[in-house]
Every structure is written in C-alpha cells, then in structure tokens.
Amino acid sequence: MEETVSSVLGTTRCGDVEFRWGERTYVMGIINVTPDSFSGDGLGNDVEAAVAQGVRFAAEGADILDVGGESTRPGAGGIPEDEEMGRVIPVVERLAREVNIPVSVDTYKVEVARQALQAGARMINDIWGLNRDERLADLAAEWGVPIILMSNQRDAGCEDIIPEVISSLRQSMASARAHGVPWENIIVDPGVGFGKTLEQNLEIVARLDELKCLGRPILIGTSRKSMIGLVLDLPPEQRLEGTAASVAISIAKGADIVRVHDVAQMKRVCQMSDAIVRGVRQSKK
C-alpha cells in the first residue's frame, strides 16, 4: 500500500494547534518588527501596528504568525540581543493573548527565543539551522515546541545547490535530534535568498520535491524575495504576482508551509493549489 504524506510526516503540535501534514498547505504570516526589512513592511518598534497586523493576518486565514526583530536582508548587520528582545517580546506577548493561532519567533539567539517562549511563542524559526547556536535545540526540546531549520549559504557559497541544501539540512536535523528534539517537531526550510544566486533560488523551487527525502515537512519563503524582483524587474511592493506563482509551484512540488507577507492573497493561492494538487477544497480557515 502506498504511503500517504500524512502517514510519512505525521502530525506536529504547536501550542493548541495540530498541523496535520499533507492535508493542506499552511500559511505563515510575517510580522517584521524591524525598521529595515528588505520587503518594505518593517514596523520598527510600533507594537500596536504589529499586533494589528497579526490580528488582521489571523482574520485573513493565517495558520501561524512569525515575529522577527532583526532584518535578514543581504548586508544587514546584526543587532544587540537586548534590542532584538525589546522589539520582539512585547509583540509576541500581545499576539499570544489576542489571536487564536500560534506565534513563532524568528531568531537565532537563544535568549531571545527563551524570552519569546516565556511570552507565549510556540515555535522557533532559526535561519541558521543551529549553526550559530545549538542551544536553540535544547530550548526547543525543553519546551516541546517545533523548530524550523533553514539551510543558509551566506557564510560560504556552493555550486551544486540541491545536494548542498539537503546535506546541510541533514546535519541540522541530526544536531536537533542529538539535543532531544522529537522527530515530529522538526520542519525544514531550503532558505531561498540566503546566500544563493538567482539561478540557484529558481532551481530550489523547481526541484523542491527532492527535499522530501528528508522525511520532514517543508517550509518555503519566496514572498517578495529578490529572485522575483530580478526576474520581473520590480520593487518589493510590486512582487505579488511573482510571489503567487512561486507559492503555487512550491505547493505543487511539495511545500507544506508557505511564509508570506500578503496573507489574504496567498491564502487563496494555497486553497486553489490544494484543490488541484491535493484534491482538497476548504473554506477560508
């Protein structure tokens, strides 16, 4: 009997919510509490604006909110830990109370993640795949929360991108498991835009299904990325259609979560793609 996606990937609990992999595509809404986001949507220290955006995303059908306080745009410098906490923690705390979907913290700093979990976050999104601080895995294991592990090539480029992404994710997964993270709490992300060339980013989307060999749900973040700008010659605020195309193709190639800036529109893209790819028709939520 052929194994289904759900039987291979199982179920991941995130707070009070279960992600039942294979049943549909889940939408992660991006909350950038930074003044210098590449996408033009950075909210800086405006807690009220960030909370309002999160509430709106939840109403538009987001399944999870990802709060980040340090810009990941190319060339962006890091910020001190206390500054990142000052941006992130008040927003996480408010959103955890005001929305009925889980909140994720986008950080590679263990103390930021710890305080975010204490404030109500129920997922860790590590853009360095534990290569900056393996203690994030200890934290994820201690709290019993899922962790997203990204393949990041910014420290060293590569020529053969898919094998490199798979190899780096295998190493990150092994590290997570060695630190006690349950298999079902690991999610992988190929890291579109993080140290890859345009051609490599396009190849990742085209060959995303090859990451299924890892046996874990795949998150992809193409939303407003530079690869869309380079192909279409458009600024971030005009990359909606390019994002929609990349999201739809990613779903056809096996994406389980899409991380997006434009929740309402991408929710519709997911619903239509799921109807075609998974044979599933659903209401807005």
Q: What pLDDT, in 10s, does the model give residues 48-68?
A: 999 999 999 999 999 999 999
Query: What is the residue whose two structure tokens read 């053969």?
Result: 160
For 51, other C-beta atoms within 10 Å of its C-beta total 20
Q: Tell me, what amino acid is at 243?
A: T
**Angle between the 263-277 and 240-252 helix axes, to the nearest 10 degrees?**
30
Q: With a cut of 80, say whether residue 165 has pLDDT above it.
A: yes
Tokens describing residue 15: 């707070």
Q: For the chain, what is the mean pLDDT?
A: 92
Amino acid at 90: P
- The CA angle 145-149-155, to the nearest 5 degrees, is 145
pLDDT above 50 (res 195): yes
Q: Does domain 23-277 have CATH number 3.20.20.20?
A: yes
As a whole number, mean pLDDT of residues 215-241 equals 97
pLDDT tens column, 250-282: 999 999 999 999 999 999 999 999 999 999 877
- pLDDT number for residue 36: 58
The count of other CB atoms within 10 Å of the CB of residue 189 is 27
Please report, for the chain, the start and end positions of each structural domain, with discontinuous segments joined by +. 23-277
Give percent helix, percent strand, percent coil of the chain, each to the nearest 5.
45, 15, 40
Find the catalytic residue in 225, 239, 253, 267: 225
> What confidence score (pLDDT) does residue 44 get?
67
Tokens of 56: 């709106």
Residue 171: count of CB within 10 angstroms of its CB: 15
Q: List the structure tokens of 176.
A: 């997570």
284 in catalytic set: no
225 catalytic residue (yes or no): yes
User: What pLDDT does residue 193 have?
Assistant: 93
Q: How far apart are the first and last CA of the chain?
A: 31
DSSP assignment of 235-284 equals -GGG-HHHHHHHHHHHHHTT-SEEEES-HHHHHHHHHHHHHHHT------
Provide CB contacts within 8 A for 143, sequence distance 6+. 117
Lowest-confidence segment of 33-42, 123-132, 158-167, 171-180 by average pLDDT: 33-42
Q: 13-17, 199-203, 217-221, 281-285 — which is least confidently predicted? A: 281-285
**For 100-142, what is each residue's pLDDT tens digit?**
999 999 999 999 999 999 999 999 999 999 999 999 999 999 9
